[in-house]
Amino acid sequence: MSSDLWSFSLTLYARPGVEQACLQLQAGGVSVCLLLCAAWLGQRGIACDEQRLQQLRAVAQAWDVDVVQPLRALRVRWKAAATQDAELHSLREQVKALELEAERNLLLRLERSAQDWPQGDATDLAIWLEGVTAHAPHLHRDALHQLRVAVTGA
C-alpha cells in the first residue's frame, strides 16, 4: 500500500466492498476519514492508545462537522432535483468536488498529526479500527470486518 494517507485511502477505497463498507459505517456515525486513517496507522504498525485516538478525534471533529458534513448534506439534498435540472446538476458536481477536496484536506491534517509516531512497533489494525468506531451509535460489524479484510488482504 501507499506510504501517504491520501494515496493509501484511494487505493483502499477502490478495493471490492470497501466503498460500501465505509458508507455503511458512515451511516452508523463513523467518520470515514478517521476510519481510513486508523486503517493506515494500523497497517503501518503504529501502536494505538487512547491519547492518540483522542488526538485524531480532535483533529477530525471540527473539520468534519464544519466543512465536510455541510458539503455532503447539500450534495445529498440536491441529488433528486439535479436529475431534472442541468444547472443544478453542474453545481452539485462542483459541491461533490469540494466535498472530496475537504476530505483530502482532513486526511492531510490527520497524517500530519501522526507523522512523528514510530512505525513498526505493533500490529494494532483491529485496535485502531475498534478505537475509532467505539463511539458510533449504530456500528455495522460486518462492514468493519470487510474493511479489516481489505486492509490485510486476509
For the stretch 118-139, pLDDT in tens is 988 777 788 999 999 988 877 7
CB count within 10 Å of CB 127 equals: 17
What pLDDT shows up at residue 27?
A: 87
% residues pLDDT > 90 (the chain): 72
Q: How much is the average pLDDT of 64-77?
A: 96
Residue predicted with more confidence, 140 or 4? 4
- pTM: predicted TM-score of the whole model, two decimal places: 0.90
What pLDDT shows up at residue 142?
A: 86
Q: pLDDT tens across 20-51, in order?
A: 999 999 888 899 999 999 999 999 999 999 99
Let me know: does 42 contact 151? Beta carbons within 8 Å: yes
Let me know: does 131 contact 46? Beta carbons within 8 Å: no
CA separation for the pair 87, 153 (Å, rounded): 43
Mean pLDDT for the chain overall = 91
CA separation for the pair 145, 56 (Å, rounded): 22
Per-domain residue ranges for the chain? 5-152
pLDDT band at residue 1 under the 50/70/90 scheme: very low
Q: How much is the average pLDDT of 63-68?
A: 95
Q: What are phi and psi of 148, to 5 degrees?
A: -60, -45
